[in-house]
């Protein structure tokens, strides 16, 4: 008995891969704010150390918590560096 011809399977066209989107850069405000917060935090700490004896700057009511404010500003600045591309 003769064999029948094998059927050709219908193939669906493979979807073309979408072009890979180029990662967007960071916003323009990010770098100045990031550097500004770190410099402001450093200036806050330096001002506290230099004037803590007599003038009571930057905020006399905070006392030693001025260090926490300064380091907090620096930490927020470093936190923004994780978003920089």
- What does pLDDT average to over the chain? 87
- Please, which pLDDT band fits residue 57 given cuts at 50, 70 and 90? confident
For residue 36, what pLDDT is reported?
Answer: 98
Residue extents of the structural domains in the chain: 30-83
Euclidean distance between CA atoms 71 and 77, whole angstroms: 10
Asked if the model's pLDDT at residue 19 lies above 80, the reply is no
Euclidean distance between CA atoms 36 and 49, whole angstroms: 20
Asked if the model's pLDDT at residue 53 lies above 80, the reply is no
For residue 35, what pLDDT is reported?
Answer: 97
Distances (CA, A) of 78 to 15, 23, 28, 81: 43, 22, 17, 5
Rounded to an integer, the average pLDDT of 43-61 is 85
């Amino acid at each position: 008995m003769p064999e029948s011809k094998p059927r050709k399977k219908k193939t669906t066209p493979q979807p073309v891969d979408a072009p890979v989107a180029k990662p967007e850069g960071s916003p323009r405000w990010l770098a100045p704010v990031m550097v500004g917060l770190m410099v402001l935090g450093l200036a806050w700490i330096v001002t506290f150390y230099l004037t803590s004896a007599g003038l009571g700057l930057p905020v006399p009511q905070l006392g030693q918590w001025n260090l926490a404010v300064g380091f907090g500003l620096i930490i927020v600045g470093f936190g923004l560096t994780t978003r920089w591309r």
